[in-house]
Chains A and B, each alone.
Chain A
Amino acid sequence: MNPANRRDILKYSAAAAASTLSFPALNLAHAQGGPLKIGLITPLSGPQEFIGSYVKNGAEIAVDQINKAGGILGRQVALEIRDDKANPAAALAAARELLGAGINLHTGGISSAVVLALIPVMQQENGVFMTCGAGTEKMNHENYSPHLFRPGDAPDARGRAQARLMATKYPQITRWTGLIPDHEYGRTMWGIFVDGLLEFYPALTGKKPEILDPILLPYGVSDYRNSITQALRQQADGVYNATYGGDAITMFQQARGFGLMQRYKVVCDAANEFLVARGMKQQLPPHWTGMHYYAEANKGNAMSERFVADYLTKTKDPEPLGWAAEAHASIYALAKAIEKGKSTDTKSVIAHLKGLTWDTVTGPRTLRAEDNQAIKDVELVYIEPAATDKGYRVAQYQKVEGKSVLLPASPGKKLVLRTA
């Protein structure tokens, strides 16, 4: 064999070894008394990039506002931002890196898989994580850990608030069905909505709701026509849609061809905020949907007005979607907990987050000590098509009191729901 080749291979292996040894240079330095660092781990590429960008902007605005007001404990705050690509392995790498560098407080996490993956790490490496809108209910139930907090809407509060609203506004509509994506999130949202229907219709109208078998939409396809046809045959009066994002828009688009949504007396959407409205504009079927945050519903709240103004300045977007507000709220919660305990130490922060009441863009919220879930009022809006450039407008909105719909805490146990 060529001696030159062998020399090269030795050279190369030495270089490889040397380069691994030089990694310490990449170690993040953090000086005591330097900036207070908070980790932001959220999707900034890949399919969930769109929502992740709202989280990033919301968090950055919160940090700017806090810094202008003097920072936390006299220190300026800085975000260490990492892209989790909505995939657990990338999120884990990012979390472990930040934890290893001494950054123990994190926020972000809108993907359920990411949140579930981070639970053991936060426990092991003694960190704190706040989710800005992940859909999984497991983090406050069977997968509960004191290190994870949900400062925003609980999935069960949202779905039950929607059911309660339906019972209040549409007492005559008792025949309900669902358009449910065939995966965990979809099934859970439907289960929660049904639980709400079964409690609130008898309680508020005296009538028992008739719950039809929901239409399960295949996940990961772009043609829903057969499911839509099935839905047509059902002849329900009210429908609950749990499809999400791009899939929801495709479904609504194709359903329009069949005139499906026009056959229902009311359409209730789980969590699409303005996504479907912005996509479809004038062609939108009028529908109720849940928002993590709706600016109009919070007029008069100084923090909310300031948030909208800052968001407009920063991104030229006049309508920050809910996830930005959740990120904003999570930073403020961390700030208050740190100030209260006069320390960024995990144990102290957890102790002060539990039971914390703090001001947010949606008003005051309280983090339940038993299961780390926030008690927050649910914001629901009714969107209609409009003959404007925007294409849609909010015709009415409602705040449903969180306390009246949130299910009791059951950390460590699976969520138990009523069934028909």
Chain B
Amino acid sequence: MHASLFVGSHLRRDLAILLTLALALAGLLVPHLLNRGLIFIVGMVWINAVFGLSFNLLFGTSGVLSFGQAMFYAAGAYAAAVFTQQLGWPLLPSLLIAAVTGGVLAMCIGFVALRRSEGVYFSILTLAFAELVHLLVANTSFLGKNDGLSALPRPRLSVGAWELDLSQGDMFYYCIVVVSVVLIALLRWVTGSGFGRALQAIRQDPERAEFLGIPVQRYRWMVFTLAGATTAAAGSLVAPWAQIVTPELAHWSNSTNPILYTLLGGSAYFWGPVLGAVTLSAVFYATRTLVGLSDLVTGMLLLLVVLALPGGMLGVLSRWTRRDSPRNETQEPKP
């Protein structure tokens, strides 16, 4: 298969860092140039990008299709909400505990689900678990039941004795950028590492990978746990950003969001979900005054991507560039 863009080389690693920095700079410039409403949307785009990247760590890299990632997103959001609002914890510990919550939940569910099912059964199982979580959250009193938890505070950031109040101005936006960049870098590093390459091997041919000595089940479980943790970390940023968490965060329609970003951008490319998240937000923003057509538009867009643009936007892009160079691959990268 043509050198997959996942397989890291020094050149690419540098490029990835460069790209991350460029995005980070653009992110930090945003508050000075945009109005507050757009800052909110851009903040959400960062969070959605991490959500999408976590999903693609499972899907694009490891070949694990989970229809229930929303449950980890919600777990992180609710954990952050409870710890910052009811226990008054500052940001970093809340974030960590949210990520741990997501990771532990993923560990338990992954242990049960991955062992016992595969393929489409596994995907539906994740959907079932997510709906279970949705149900439990919507019926739990101290989580606010259907109304969720509202009036969430923007926590303070304390490192030792130094404190920073994140409710001032755009401080929390910068916080989102920093945390997102860290998470993206983490995901990029994992993807390019030996573990990441093993996961790609598992996706391409699990049987062969097993023969090569890669512990397929264990690695799938590990990546599922990791994706759960990073998804929960992304979710934990939503709680202080939107200042409300509702059970809808765990609904299966929220699980389809990262799938949308990934497919739109291209699942075979690390940056696909990011591009997808940015593009979709741009589309929704541009059509925000055209009311009533969102279902039809989203559906048609998705259909178009799946049927006509396999590999998503980056797939199309790379095919255009490959036209300039002699074809030396025997097959297209598997979409």
Contacts and interface: CB of A to CB of B under 8 A. Distances in A.
A98 B138 CA distance: 31
Contacts of A17: 22-23, 25-26
Contact of A87 (B33, B152, B248, B322): B248
Contacts of A9: 15, 19
A45 B30 contact: no
Interface stretch (B64-72, B107-115, B291-299): B291-299
Contact of B23 (A13, A27, A88): A13
Nearest to A82: B288
B12 interface: yes
Interface string A4-29: 11101100110011001101101110
Contact of A183 (B36, B41, B146, B288): B146
Contact of B40 (A85, A96, A101, A116): A96
Q: How big is the A interface, by class? A: 35 or more
A13 B22 contact: yes
Contacts of B29: 20-21
Nearest to B32: A24
Interface string B28-43: 0110011111111110
A333 B37 CA distance: 26
A100 B325 contact: no
A8 B323 CA distance: 13
A9 B11 CA distance: 13
Interface of A is mostly: helix
B197 interface: no
A125 interface: yes
B23 A1 contact: no
Q: How big is the B interface, by class? A: 35 or more
Contacts of B289: 81-82
Interface in B143-169: 145-148, 150-152, 167
A259 interface: no
A199 interface: no
B183 interface: no
Contact of A184 (B15, B41, B146, B151): B146
A162 interface: no
Interface stretch (B184-192, B209-217, B239-247): B239-247
A113 B147 contact: yes
B324 interface: yes
Contacts of B25: 17
Given A117-B242, A183-B146, A83 B291 contact: yes
B11 A1 contact: yes
A98 B37 contact: yes
Given A92-B242, A116-B150, A44 B291 contact: yes
Interface in B243-259: 243-244, 246, 248
A143 B150 contact: yes
A12 B40 contact: no
Contacts of B293: 45
B106 to A, nearest CB: 23
Nearest to A28: B35
Contacts of B44: 89, 93
Contacts of B303: none
A83 B147 contact: no
A23 B39 CA distance: 11
B28 to A, nearest CB: 11
Given A45-B291, A88-B246, A99 B37 contact: yes
Given A99-B36, A116-B151, 9 more contacts: A9-B19, A17-B26, A87-B248, A88-B244, A89-B238, A93-B40, A97-B40, A97-B41, A112-B147
14 contacts: A8-B321, A13-B23, A16-B23, A20-B42, A21-B33, A45-B292, A46-B294, A83-B292, A88-B242, A88-B246, A100-B36, A117-B150, A136-B147, A138-B147
4 closest residue pairs by CB, A with B: A97-B37, A100-B35, A100-B36, A44-B291
